[in-house]
Amino acid sequence: MVSNISSALNAYQQALGRINAQAQKTNLEAEEIKQAGFGDMVKAAVEDTVTQHKIAEQTTLAGIQGKADIQDVVLAVSNAEMALETVVAVRDTAIKAYNTIMQMPI
């Protein structure tokens, strides 16, 4: 019984360590985004979208081969779709803002 409790405690501590490491990584990425310009932010979003699509393609192929669960395939494709929709929305907003600025009288 003591062995089960100590192994459960060790597993909990390892999970907590991974969560803390991920939180620190997320905080560092947020600081980098704050310091980066708009162009860097757009570039990062496009790169993330490409990465999400590659992951979705790999997961879909693994699903076709029977190596991945259907839920994983659906989740990967959904994440890729959401990332693409976000990039398209930012693009549309930037184009709309550009057109509005160009129509302003000087």
Predicted structure pTM score: 0.60
If asked whether residues 89 and 53 sit together in one domain, one would say: yes
The region, left, alpha or beta by phi > 0 then psi within -120 to 50, assigned to residue 34 is: alpha
Taking the CB of residue 76, how many other CB atoms lie within 10 A of it?
Answer: 22
Residues 31 and 41 in one domain: no
Enter the DSSP assignment of 103: T
Task: Give residues with Cβ within 8 angstroms of 90, minimum separation 6.
Answer: 42, 45
Least confident piece of the model among 7-11, 45-49, 93-97: 7-11
The Cα 44–Cα 72 span in angstroms is 24
Residues 62 and 28 in one domain: no
**Do residues 73 and 87 both lie within one domain?**
yes
The per-residue pLDDT for range 37-79, each reduced to its tens digit, is 878 888 888 899 999 999 999 999 999 999 988 998 999 999 9
User: Within this chain, do residues 41 and 19 fall inside the same structural domain, yes or no?
Assistant: no
Domain that holds residue 10: 1-35
